Amino acid sequence: MSMPVFHKTVSVADQRTGTPLNIFYREAGHRDAPVLLLLHGFPSSSHQYRGLIGKLSDKYRVIAPDLPGFGFSDAPEAKAFGYSFDHIAEVIGGFVETIGLTRYAIYVFDYGAPTGFRLAMAHPERVTAIISQNGNAYVEGLSDGWNPIRAYWENASAENRDNLRAFLSADTTKFQYQHGESDISLIAPESYTLDQLVLDRPGSDDIQLDLFGDYKSNLAAYPQFQDYFRTHRPPFLAVWGKNDPFFLPPGAEAFRRDIPDAEIHFLDAGHFILETHLDETALIIRGFLSRTLDAEPGTALFGVLGENAAPAEAKPHFETMRAVFGFVPVLGYAIAAEPAILGTYIEMLKTLGATSLDPIAQQVALVAASHANAADYGVAVHATLAGKLGAPAETVKALRGGAKLADARLEAVRRFATALVVNRAQPSDSDIKALKAAGYDQRAAIAIAFAVSIKALANAAAHLARPEIDAAFLG
């Protein structure tokens, strides 16, 4: 359940001008939870994170400021303030210190990337992880859409500056939201409308034109950003709209040059992926943050998983698992912390196998529940088992990726199981009608619900113990 979102303003001392700045920010989550700092891009504000905050704040303390010159933060006159990315990063660094953050992960997007990367370089000991959503740090990530701005970098003439005013128009703002999206009806019109209202404020044009001109300082800083990545190797996730007209997929892939184990995810989306792919993006982020920020699960709670560390009472159950898999899946050692529960879990799987639901559909339900619970271990196990039971390769691939299934009957099972998890065991009329239309009845509905309950236990155990996925299930 998401937490209440507080809308606050704090006074931050601007070391360059000697004057205080009011920085607006949104905050949600428990104060003792791991912190995620969300840094927005052009031409938006923390408003772009309104949905993501709700998806993450049940588990993390999420803080999203408006950069100076954007949203509800102060926007001093351009000549008096001197807008540059160095200056913005200094102010946001002051904001971080003013509200007392000493350890935090950073989510960066667009302008938030050069801002966040500067924060990370200044205080690498504070940064626990980085998520880049179309936030660039490599020249190959810049598209030809930057050419008018490049011309201004090369010749800062009045004509070249005026040519950039097209980037501040309502049509361009709307384009940034809609380009690359297959269904623009998913985009709330208030998103680009509110952005444009801020862009149209008196003096805003000079602020933004100055930042267009200073963006070349980010390219000059790319080698420094990359050296930071190589030196400190922060846990890193790039989740990228592959149809972005300004930041190209090679920019995401390039992070692996300096952080080889960086996680890269491409979505069939444009620049503002949270407007159309919020749930998908949030699921990816929650899985990443669970693996990187959560300190208490895993070996801190369970120690090293294995048969030697398991209670003696669990040994007979291990033999049952060996008979099925040829080995004991490592998750079995985690559940074996309570041997009676491991025995019950095995019996539950046997009971599911005796239901009217066919074997492949059973695995689909188990995979779907695992996806909805962001449990990669369960996804890997049951997608593998679906393949062994005869599911086509394309079905197994879709199961692993959480995609819609081409087989209508299996897709109905996937949808129903997902709905049971997401909607707190309360499927909608639409979900039930889809299940019935695929030829299933109340027996199947109960069997799918039982599969979901089985995975509630196993997925919780996986999140608590953080087992490595067994090689046999990697596909």
Q: Which residues are identified as catalytic?
A: 271
d(CA 414, CA 411): 5
Closest CA to 24 of 15, 12, 16, 41: 12
Structure-token pair, residue 475: 């596909």
Cβ atoms of residues 198 and 54 within 8 Å: no
Task: Specify whether the backbone of 226 is left (phi greater than 0), alpha (psi in -120 to 50) or beta.
Answer: alpha
> Which DSSP letter does residue 247 get?
B
Q: Residue 329: CB partners within 8 Å, gap ≥ 6?
A: 321, 381, 470, 473
Whose tokens are 């990530």? That residue is 141
Q: 234 CB contacts (<8 Å, ≥6 apart)?
A: 120, 124, 127, 128, 129, 130, 259
Which residues are within 8 A (CB) of 304 and not within 5 positions of it... i.e. 6 or more apart?
none
How large is the C-alpha radius of gyration of the chain? 25
Read off the tokens for 350.
């046997």
Element (H, E) at 38: strand 35-39
Maximal C-alpha separation, the chain: 80
Side chain identity, residue 237: L
Q: How far, in Å, CA of 256 to CA of 251, rounded?
A: 10
User: Tokens standing for 54?
Assistant: 């709700």
> Under a CB-based contact definition with an 8 Å cutoff, are residues 199 and 166 in contact?
no
